[in-house]
């Protein structure tokens, strides 16, 4: 049996998580303080995921850029592929928190959404 350790990024506490496994089979997960940590340990072991936050160019808005995020964490290996799609985007204002900019971005199954309300300038 092997042991793998992760630091949970679920909250500022940063618990150190322990996974006992044989190759790809998990036997036991320990040292987490809450269910977010338990879930994190599982996905971090099988398919690490991260939420991406960045900005998108905005046309005729009160501000030149709007902040966006992936609504759910996406596969870590897809991060730069997602960034490439985002850097080519330019969207119309006005825009509100939660508006979908791109659905299923780069085939991740996850939507890219806005995180700030920005008005249009006339």
Which one of residues 6, 19, 29, 32 is an interface residue with ligand SF4 (CB under 6 A)? 32
- 61 contacts which partner out of another protein, ligand SF4, none, CB within 5 to 8 A by kind? none
Beta strands 2-7 and 16-22 are: antiparallel
Q: How many CA atoms, within 13 angstroms, populate the side-chain half-sphere of residue 122?
A: 0
Residues 71-90 that bind another protein (CB under 8 A): 76, 79-80, 83
Q: Is 18 in the site for ligand SF4 (CB under 6 A)?
A: no
Contact 45, 21 (CB under 8 A): yes
Contact 114, 97 (CB under 8 A): yes
Instruction: Choose the binding region for ligand SF4 from 31-39, 74-82, 90-98, 112-120 (rule: CB under 6 A).
Output: 31-39
Report how many residues bind ligand SF4 under the rule CB under 6 A: 11
State both tokens at 18.
């322990």
E-only strand ranges, 32-92:
49-50, 53-59, 65-70, 74-75, 90-92
| Distance in Å, CB of 105 to another protein, minimum | 14
Residues 101-120 that bind another protein (CB under 8 A): 115-117
């Amino acid at each position: 049996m092997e042991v793998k350790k992760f630091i949970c990024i679920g909250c500022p506490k940063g618990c150190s998580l322990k996974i006992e496994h044989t190759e790809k089979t998990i036997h036991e997960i320990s040292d987490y303080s809450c269910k977010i940590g338990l879930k994190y340990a599982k996905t971090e072991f099988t398919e690490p995921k991260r939420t991406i936050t960045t900005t998108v160019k905005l046309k005729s808005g009160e501000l030149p850029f709007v902040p966006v995020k992936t609504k759910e964490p996406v596969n870590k290996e897809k991060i730069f592929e997602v960034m490439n799609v985002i850097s080519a985007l330019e969207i119309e204002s006005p825009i509100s928190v939660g508006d979908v900019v791109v659905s299923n971005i780069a085939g991740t199954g996850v939507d890219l959404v806005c995180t700030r309300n920005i008005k249009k300038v006339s």
